[in-house]
């Protein structure tokens, strides 16, 4: 079945293409080969590109302008993702900030935490997401990183692994266990942890290509203010499912369009 687009949708696509033609840097068309060989952080071109997308309403088009969007419809969002995939353009070199952390703060955070979302989406603050552990991968609820109540703070001890962007992140959206006696899905909470806090050690994991994106992160009695608790204590599994839904909701679309682009390229090569 061939869908036909409305006049408004076609105008949306023309505006997007004109914007990309004028503003997209050549580096953003290199797919995901952008991390280089060091751990120095996000390249200047990538910071500028993400900020440009945000400021022009093209970072997350469905959002309002103050969050980097333009109130796009679901159909227009699909057109947007299709166009980026067709042209091989990346929006950001740190996916977690705009796809997981920003939306999760908007959905689950208090007023002060929601105020952090624009910087996460624009890329002004680089976030990593502390999920996987040596014994908690696909079974994320088996996580063992502890956050012990200490008056006005939590004291965090434990280890995360395969933590994307940790070598250069400013903040960590971290899943911790606050009640070790509760059933494993019931004793989880989410904390916002400053990566410059004393007691944090980041050990980069280098790809076979030499690139650095993932890391092990060790927490040794890291003090985190209770104001940095997202949502209710011990109700973090709900946030976990919500944050993953935000991530997967965009990934599947980008994956399908990316596969179509790859297939078209193979067909052209075969001919």
Q: Which residues pair with 155 in a beta bridge?
A: 148, 223
Task: Tell me the backbone φ, ψ of residue 232, rounded to 5 degrees.
Answer: -90, 145
CA-based diameter of the chain, in Å?
Answer: 69
Q: Would residue 181 show up in a list of annotated catalytic residues for this protein?
A: no
Q: Which residue has the tokens 């004109």?
A: 18
DSSP for residue 99: I
Tabulate helix, strand, coil % of the chain (nearest 5).
Answer: 45, 20, 35
Q: Which of 134, 152, 151 is nearest to 143 (CA)?
A: 134
Distances 18 to 83, 88, 185 between C-alpha atoms, Å: 12, 16, 47
Pick the catalytic residue from 82, 133, 213, 247.
247
**Helix segments in the chain, DSSP class H:** 7-23, 44-55, 74-87, 95-96, 102-108, 111-114, 117-122, 236-270
Q: Which of 49, 79, 81, 76 is nearest to 62 (CA)?
A: 76
Residues tagged active-site: 247
């Amino acid at each position: 079945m061939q869908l036909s687009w409305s006049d408004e949708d076609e105008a949306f696509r023309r505006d997007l293409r004109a914007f990309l033609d004028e503003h997209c840097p050549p580096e953003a068309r290199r797919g995901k080969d952008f991390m280089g060989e060091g751990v120095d952080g996000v390249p200047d071109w990538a910071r500028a590109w993400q900020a440009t997308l945000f400021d022009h309403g093209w970072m997350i088009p469905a959002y309002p302008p103050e969050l980097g969007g333009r109130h796009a419809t679901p159909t227009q969002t699909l057109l947007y993702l299709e166009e980026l995939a067709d042209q091989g353009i990346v929006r950001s070199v740190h996916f977690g900030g705009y796809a997981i952390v920003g939306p999760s703060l908007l959905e689950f955070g208090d007023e002060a935490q929601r105020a952090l979302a624009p910087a996460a989406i624009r890329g002004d603050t680089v976030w990593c997401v502390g999920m996987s552990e040596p014994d908690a991968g696909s079974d994320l609820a088996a996580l063992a990183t502890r956050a012990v109540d200490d008056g006005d703070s939590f004291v965090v001890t434990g280890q995360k692994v395969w933590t994307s962007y940790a070598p250069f992140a400013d903040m960590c959206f971290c899943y911790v266990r606050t009640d070790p006696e509760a059933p494993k899905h019931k004793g989880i909470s989410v904390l916002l942890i400053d990566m410059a806090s004393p007691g944090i050690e980041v050990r980069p994991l280098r790809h076979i290509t030499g690139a650095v994106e993932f890391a092990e992160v060790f927490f040794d009695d890291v003090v985190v203010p209770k104001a940095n608790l997202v949502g209710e204590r011990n109700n973090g599994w709900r946030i976990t499912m919500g944050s993953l839904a935000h991530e997967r909701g965009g990934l599947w679309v980008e994956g399908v369009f990316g596969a179509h682009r790859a297939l078209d390229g193979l067909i052209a090569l075969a001919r």
